[in-house]
Amino acid sequence: MSLRAGPMMYAGGQPLAPHVAEQASRWYVLFLSGAQTEDDERAWRDWRAADPDHERAWSHLTRADARMRDLPAKAAYDALSAASRQRGRRKVLRAAAFLATCIGPALWAADRSRWLHISPDHATDVGERREVHLADGTHVTLDTDTRIDVRFSASERILRLRQGQILVATGHRGGDASTMPLRVDTYHGSITALGTRFSVRQQDDAAQVALFEGAVEIQPAQRQGAGLVLSAGQTARCTRLRAELAGVVGAGNTAWLRGELAADDMPLSQFLEELSRYRPGVISCDEQTGRLRVSGLFPLADTDRVLEAIGRLLKVKISRFTPYWVVVSAQA
């Protein structure tokens, strides 16, 4: 199934990857059920110690406990309680897993609602693109559903990419080419540049960087000294521990600037995931249909027309259950 990747959950002032939030929710509901064993408790302690983000996620959940109990998941709690009374560990674990799917998104939504009140300096809605001109002459293009903060001072120039994708064409104060570098901070690492044109996309598992002019240095967030210098025409992938070359700049790196989605023998599941970034709601498909391949250049101004075109090209069925829920499947 291809689902739109959700934004990150925030806790303690820093973003948490969605898979960490889900893991913390599963541990929470297991302990809530009372079905944990000594092995479970040891594994839980090991999980918390394995990564600072795990500990922050757990602390965030326990602080939110009172709020969570008011969330609309009573049926799931009832199912969990019933399974506990039957003393069937397998049933409890199945119920716990189900409850985690209720708590995790609801907790994230409550937390995200609080954080969205701390407004970014610049933002776009789903399906919107926007040009921003900064005081130093830097031009920033924001892709769909993107949020950035600007932190410029006498000693630093920093853009914080909260979510989404941006294109940066760096400028210089007063035309002084010796001004300090501009840095883009993401959850996964930082990209430092001077006199450069590049794009950065923040995803759940990594930051994707494409360099069009000049040079940039990429530094993973949790591994100092493991930086990578990127040359014009190259792309890179940066996780919190590693930065590595990912290939060369292609049509897909610039198509969004023209309001288009470029696909070159792309799996349909990946294509739908990309398309869903430009429309509200969810597009899903089954695993077999998702393996079909897509090639072409598709305008993003009308995503419904793109779906209709995919239906004709690949002979698949496009089912719209609501304006926000679309399912792509094989023809009967």
pLDDT category at 7 given cuts 50, 70, 90 is very low
- Phi then psi for 164, rounded to 5 degrees? 95, -150
Average pLDDT of the segment spanning 235-251: 93
Q: Does domain 122-253 have CATH number 2.60.40.350?
A: no
CA distance 159 to 148: 7
The candidate with the shortest Cα–Cα distance to 164, out of 193, 139, 184, is 184
Mean per-residue pLDDT of the chain: 78
Phi-psi region of 145 (alpha: psi -120 to 50; beta: other; left: phi over 0): left
Q: 294 with 263: CB under 8 angstroms?
A: yes
User: pLDDT per residue over 261-312, tens digit each?
Assistant: 999 999 999 999 999 999 988 888 888 999 999 999 999 999 999 999 999 9
> At which residue do the structure tokens 């001109």 appear?
133
Which amino acid, 298?
F
Please tell me what DSSP assigns to residue 179: S
Could you tell me if 200 and 186 are in contact, meaning their C-beta atoms sit under 8 angstroms apart?
A: yes
Q: CA-CA distance, 2 to 270, in Å (whole number)? A: 7
Query: What is the distance between the terminal CA atoms of the chain, rounded to a whole angstrom?
Result: 19
User: Given this model, what pLDDT does residue 310 score?
Assistant: 95
Threshold 0.75, pTM exceeds? no
Query: What would the DSSP string read from start to end of 32-64?
Result: HHT---HHHHHHHHHHHHH-HHHHHHHHHHHHT
pLDDT of residue 41: 83
What are the pLDDT digits (tens) for 178-193?
468 899 999 999 999 9
Mean pLDDT within 72-99 = 47
Q: Is the pLDDT of residue 4 over 80?
A: no
Q: Using pLDDT thresholds of 50, 70 and 90, give the confidence band for residue 86.
A: very low
Task: Give the integer Cα–Cα distance in Å for 266 and 295.
Answer: 6
DSSP at 222 = T
| Per-position DSSP letters for 112-134, written without gaps between them | HHHHHTS--SEE--TT--EEEE-
Name the band, by pLDDT with cuts 50, 70 and 90, for residue 112: very low
Tell me: pLDDT of 115 over 80: no
Q: Is residue 157 pLDDT above 80, yes or no?
A: yes
What pLDDT, in 10s, does the model give residues 190-226?
999 978 999 999 998 899 999 999 999 999 998 777 7
Residues 224, 255: Cα–Cα separation, whole Å: 33
Residue with tokens 């391949």: 293
Contact 308, 318 (CB under 8 A): yes
Residue 230 gets the label, from left (phi > 0), alpha (psi -120 to 50) or beta, of: beta
The structural architecture, per CATH, of the domain 259-330 is 3-Layer(bab) Sandwich (3.55)
Which is more confident, 22 or 137? 137
* Confidence bin at 68 (pLDDT 50/70/90): very low
Residue 90 has pLDDT above 80, yes or no: no
Distance, in Å, from the CA atom of 315 to the CA atom of 312, rounded to the nearest integer, reads 5
- The per-type count for the chain, helices as H runs and strands as E runs, is 10, 20
Q: Write the burial class of residue 314 (CB in 10 Å: 0-12 exposed, 13-18 middle, 19+ buried).
A: middle
- Cβ partners under 8 Å of residue 302, min gap 6: none
